A = this chain, B = another copy of it.
Amino acid sequence: MSKISLLSRAVALLSVLCVMGLPASAQNKAGPGPLVLQSQGSFFVGGRDVKSDTLSTLPAYAPSGTITVDQMYVHYEVPANAGKHYPLTLIHGCCLTGKTWETTPDGRMGWDEFFVRRGYPVYVIDQSWRGRSAGSVAAINAVKMGKAPVDQLPTVFSAGHEGAWTIFRFGPEYPKVYDGMRYPLRAQAEFWKQMVPDWSNAVPTPNPTVPALSELAQKLQGTVLISHSQSGIYPFQTVALSTKGVAGIISIEPGACPNAAGDLTPYKTVPIMVLWGDNVDLSPRWSPRLKGCRAFVAALNAAGGKAEVLVLPEMGIHGNSHMLMQDNNSLQIAAMLDTWIARHVGHRP
């Protein structure tokens, strides 16, 4: 199927969804009613033991010993009515944690719960070395203890509000706001609290999150990987390791798509959606990334793949930021994803 016909189909589908709007349950101000879970819990995937002599500079904790790093924290909820839905795995982006998908800064339902209510088992991860997934501070203590030079301090950064404002496309530059912006800016302070330091430059490539995602996908015997921004490329890197367990990929505003001129074999058999918000073409950071994704999807489909790029304003949905899972139409977009999954990924046999 050509890119054009795929797009036409998607536009038609999305138009219907826009007219339909949200399900009554999500619009009900009195609350959506009880949530019935079959099970919930958390666990880790991956991880390796590392010995170090610079774990601590405090007398109460030994400097030498073994720690475990690279594991990926996973929290899950399985609804009582899961049926044959494939589980969804929600993978946050730069400088954020699994909190991304939970209650929005202005207190609305997150995608985690929305999809559970739609019948999907939902797995929310913290990337390796982030949130509840441990990293190591041994390199810091090695310098502090005089055992390593200063230039061996890890490359770790925080994104400041001012820079993040532009990166997350709330506006062209801090504190200007794009017309019709759907991000709940009145709760902006709550969003800033979600941001954490980012160690992804201090870990190997691909990020240890990637093999952990592959292990999780195989454990689940099928999951749709939903990634965002920095982690946008992870599902592609995951299927490059193994297509086992990856039932579909939804990559939201990825930092990169795979190279259109590279080996496209791993991506051919997996249904893929690459989703973009508004004002992308106005952003020197994001505009070339969208172009790269268009080239990748065109090349993949020409080679027999089944991928599509969806750009919300091209479907008549305007004003979405980079954090579209928290925008004021976040559940409308989630409902679109639900429909896309039903059509393109389907259910377990």
Q: Mark A186-209, 1 if CB is under 8 A from B, else 0.
A: 000110111111000100000000
Chain B residues near A136 (CB-CB < 8 A): 158, 197
Task: Kindly specify which of A39-47, A219-227, A316-324, A337-345 makes contact with the partner chain.
Answer: A39-47
Residue A110 at the B interface, CB < 8 A? yes
Chain B residues near A297 (CB-CB < 8 A): none
Query: Are B160 and A137 closer than 8 Å at their CB atoms?
Result: no
Chain B residues near A134 (CB-CB < 8 A): 158, 193, 195-197
Least distance between A45 CB and chain B CB atoms (Å): 9
CA distance A103 to B74 in the complex (A): 11
Chain B residues near A315 (CB-CB < 8 A): none
Task: Kindly specify which of A11-19, A148-156, A271-279, A305-313 makes contact with the partner chain.
Answer: A148-156
Residue A57 at the B interface, CB < 8 A? yes
State which of B66, B107, B155 has its C-beta within 8 Å of the C-beta of A161. Answer: B66
Residue A102 at the B interface, CB < 8 A? yes
Query: Are B143 and A157 closer than 8 Å at their CB atoms?
Result: no
Given that A103-B42, A132-B99, A151-B144 are contacting pairs, would A157 and B58 also be in contact in the complex, using a CB cutoff of 8 Å?
yes
Within 8 A of B (CB), among A11-63: 31, 34-44, 47, 49, 52, 55-58, 61-62
Identical chains in the assembly:
2
Residue A251 at the B interface, CB < 8 A? no
Residue A346 at the B interface, CB < 8 A? no
Chain B residue at smallest Cβ distance from A157: B56
Residue A163 at the B interface, CB < 8 A? yes
Chain B residues near A109 (CB-CB < 8 A): 41
Query: Are A47 and B160 closer than 8 Å at their CB atoms?
Result: no
Given that A37-B35, A144-B151 are contacting pairs, would A190 and B44 also be in contact in the complex, using a CB cutoff of 8 Å?
yes
Chain B residues near A146 (CB-CB < 8 A): 150
State which of B40, B103, B131, B135 has its C-beta within 8 Å of the C-beta of A197. Answer: B135
Chain B residues near A113 (CB-CB < 8 A): 40-41
Chain B residues near A41 (CB-CB < 8 A): 102-103, 107, 109-110, 113
Given that A134-B193, A140-B154 are contacting pairs, would A159 and B66 also be in contact in the complex, using a CB cutoff of 8 Å?
no
Least distance between A73 CB and chain B CB atoms (Å): 7
Given that A35-B40, A137-B197 are contacting pairs, would A56 and B158 also be in contact in the complex, using a CB cutoff of 8 Å?
yes
Given that A36-B36, A150-B146 are contacting pairs, would A65 and B163 also be in contact in the complex, using a CB cutoff of 8 Å?
yes
Within 8 A of B (CB), among A155-198: 155-163, 189-190, 192-197
Residue A141 at the B interface, CB < 8 A? yes
CA distance A144 to B153 in the complex (A): 6
Chain B residues near A103 (CB-CB < 8 A): 41-43
Interface contacts beyond A61-B163, A131-B132, A146-B150: sample of 7 additional A-B pairs, CB < 8 Å, sorted by A: A41-B103, A43-B107, A52-B158, A55-B157, A56-B158, A73-B99, A143-B143
> Top 4 nearest A-B pairs by Cβ distance?
A65-B160, A56-B157, A41-B103, A44-B193
